[in-house]
Structure 1
Amino acid sequence: MVKFSLSIKTIVAIGIGAAVYVILGRFINIPTGIPNTQIETTIAFLAFMSVLFGPVAGGLIGFIGHALKDVLMWGSVWWSWVFISLFVGFFIGLFAYRIKVQEGAFGRRQIIHFNIVQIIVQVVGWCFFGPILDIIIYAEPANKVFTQGAVAGVSNIISVGVLGTILLVSYAKTQSKAGSLSKEV
């Protein structure tokens, strides 16, 4: 039998992360002109939390935060996009988890790695899986959902590329670099 447990720190991060996701999604977004598609800071925050706390926390923050945001903003949940937030949080956390910002390292190589990962994950999520789920679950017209997915994907890639990178660089600067402490003799 496989035992699975989350640390208290991760559970708290999921709760706080989901709450911040809701607040950012509710109050800090820019309309794109495409129906129900905004430029959001939530995905940058989700990417940041996914790198710090890993794939399970990232996925749950995306899932819970997006579902709660939808309920508060629209009165119902648009499940296809909620699952994409889970997908994005999980896979950014999975593939970018080896970036050790907690050790004060987030230089050029880590920035490039992080952004390659987030671009691939978001293209697959928003431009492919999201529209397909919209068609399967809600019988939405293909041209509409692929346009929405492409706009959401591009705006989220830019949001994470700019804001997510700034958050990670700023956070890394607050951490002690590995081996930076030395013993006086």
Structure 2
Amino acid sequence: MKNNSVKIVVATGIGAALFVIIGWLINIPTPVPNTSIQLQYAVLALFSALFGPLAGFLIGFIGHALKDSFLYGSPWWTWVLGSGLSGLFFAFAVKRDQLVQGIFGGKEIVRFNLVQLLTNVVVWGVIAPIGDILVYNEPANKVFTQGVVAGLANAVTVAVAGTLLLKLYAATRTKSGSLDKE
């Protein structure tokens, strides 16, 4: 258990740092104000798949809170929570045991993308906008537009870059039973 805790702490630190750096350096604006294409969600998906739901939640939550603090002066807590929830649910999109054994083929890619698509739609299209309305008294039409655009952008980013990262990771793993003793 202790070894697993250390892995989660280290993964959280590295993952949150990557979330901040990628979010800071690669921020592609959309026509919708305060909404951009964020490539760090692909890395969040990879770390969540490898280190589990707790690490995924913490990476998304801490990384987004720090990114907002550095870039805007303070976090937008409803979206920070959204990033944490995204990391949490991304962890359930992949069977970690299979991934570490190098198994990430067609069936696994479909499962990953169905779960991440559902996650992005629910988190950014429902939870974050409702939070914005309840916590910040934002207009519904504004925040639902932002949420839908962000959710679709994140879903496409994770589908392309997240799938690629997971596929590349799996390719580096030795398949069980693939080594022969001479």
Interval of TM-score (by shorter of Structure 1 and Structure 2):
over 0.9
Q: Where do residues 131-150 of structure 1 align in structure 2 (5 Å cutoff)? A: 131-150=129-148
Q: What CA distance in whole angstroms lies between the structure 1 residues aligned with 2:109 and 2:63?
A: 25
Tell me the residue number matched to 1:112: 110
When residues 76 and 55 of structure 1 are mapped into structure 2, their CA distance, relative to the original with a 3 A threshold, is: same
Helix, strand or coil for the counterpart of 1:7?
helix
Task: Give yes or no for the alignment of 1:156 onto 2:147.
Answer: no
Q: What CA distance in whole angstroms lies between the structure 2 residues aligned with 1:31 and 1:95?
A: 27
Q: Where do residues 1-185 of structure 1 align in structure 2 (5 Å cutoff)? A: 6-98=4-96, 100-184=98-182
Helix, strand or coil for the counterpart of 2:92?
helix
**Contact 2:12–2:55 (8 Å) recurs in 1:** yes
Q: What CA distance in whole angstroms lies between the structure 1 residues aligned with 2:63 and 2:115?
A: 22
Q: What CA distance in whole angstroms lies between the structure 2 residues aligned with 1:108 and 1:60?
A: 29
CA shift for structure 1 position 96: 2.5
Cα deviations by residue, 1:115-154 (Å, 9 ceiling, x for unpaired): 0010011111000001000000000000000000000000
**Contact 1:104–1:172 (8 Å) recurs in 2:** yes
CA shift for structure 1 position 34: 1.0
Aligned residue type for 2:151: G
Q: What CA distance in whole angstroms lies between the structure 1 residues aligned with 2:131 and 2:2?
A: 29
After TM superposition, the runs of 4+ consecutive aligned structure 1 residues lying more than 6 A away are none
Q: What CA distance in whole angstroms lies between the structure 1 residues aligned with 2:133 and 2:38?
A: 23
Identity %: 53
Cα RMSD of the aligned pairs, angstroms, is 1.6
Q: What CA distance in whole angstroms lies between the structure 2 residues aligned with 1:105 and 1:99?
A: 9
Cα deviations by residue, 1:78-123 (Å, 9 ceiling, x for unpaired): 0000000011100111342446221111111110010001001111
90-99 or 47-56: which moved more? Answer: 90-99
Helix, strand or coil for the counterpart of 2:107?
helix
**Contact 1:84–1:125 (8 Å) recurs in 2:** yes
Helix, strand or coil for the counterpart of 1:178?
coil
Helix, strand or coil for the counterpart of 1:164?
helix
Aligned residue type for 2:165: L
170-179 or 148-157: which moved more? Answer: 170-179
Aligned residue type for 1:121: T
CA shift for structure 1 position 51: 0.6
- Where does structure 1 lack aligned partners over 5 or more consecutive residues? none
Normalising by structure 1, we get a TM-score of: 0.94
Aligned residue type for 2:131: L
Normalising by structure 2, we get a TM-score of: 0.95
